[in-house]
Amino acid sequence: MDDHEITRARLVMLGRQGAGKGTQCVRLAAHFGEPHISTGDMLRAAVAAGTKMGLRVKDIMDSGALVSDELMINVIAERLELPDATRGYILDGFPRTVPQGEELDEITADRPLHVVINLDVPEEVVIERITKRRVCSTCGTNYSTDVPPTRNWTCDVCGGEVVQRPDDTEEAVLERLALYASETLPLVPFYDERGVLLSVDGLGEADDVTARLIAAVDDRLVARR
């Protein structure tokens, strides 16, 4: 292992929808200096740009269902080839199924995962968080009905329109949580068996959760060296 390698972080963030994965991954990315790779953000950008892939996935996403493993594996394999991700990465929203996890092992065989975080927040808490969530349709900044933008659902950051994501309605949320339990939760024992799982309590103020995450991940990274 060379000196440069010692400073890298290769992380996956698992957790229910609304557990705060996006917010925390942005912060971990800044802290560790690694790219934040969110498959949900990549797909939403493709939908907004009206690309062929965007047209293919829009209805699936709006209903709360999962996009096929095959398409997602291609998306992530291409993304992980870009120069910023060749040594470190923070994955958010991928893998979402055991087949995706198995494929990720292959894709990253030359730069294996250090830590898989399971950001733990109970189901009843995330249902309330998600149905209150509002997001800027232009830049993606998160708000909620409890903490709205200062001016009439206009984004404080970019002036874009702040809306409810089509997949944040109660019906879609219940579908997404059921899929999380059946498709994504099996990744917890999958990574536990590999000795890389780290469960972190996701309840409380975002800043406290960030501090908890950084301390726990740092510990693990140091222990691996």
Q: Which is nearer to ligand AMP, 172 or 221 (CB)?
A: 172
Q: Is 16 a catalytic residue?
A: no
x/- track of binding to ligand AMP for residues 164-193 (CB under 6 A) = ---x--------x-----------------
Q: Which of 8, 54, 58, 60 binds ligand AMP (CB under 6 A)?
A: 60
Q: Which of 43, 46, 104, 162 binds ligand AMP (CB under 6 A)?
A: 43
> What is the DSSP-derived secondary structure letter of residue 160?
P
Q: Is 194 a catalytic residue?
A: no
Q: Is 111 a catalytic residue?
A: no
CB-based burial of residue 216 (10 Å sphere; 0-12 exposed, 13-18 middle, 19+ buried)?
middle
Sheet of 142-144, strand order: 142-144, 133-136, 162-163
Contact residues for 2 (Cβ-Cβ < 8 A; gap 6+): none
Sheet of 89-92, strand order: 36-38, 89-92, 10-15, 115-120, 197-201
∠30-43-194 over CA atoms, to 5°?
Answer: 60
Q: Is 87 a catalytic residue?
A: no
Q: Is 44 a catalytic residue?
A: no
Least distance CB 176 / ligand AMP (angstroms): 5
Residues serving a catalytic function are 21, 96, 133, 165, 176
Residues that bind ligand AMP (CB under 6 A): 17, 39-40, 43, 60-61, 64-67, 72, 93-94, 96, 100, 167, 176
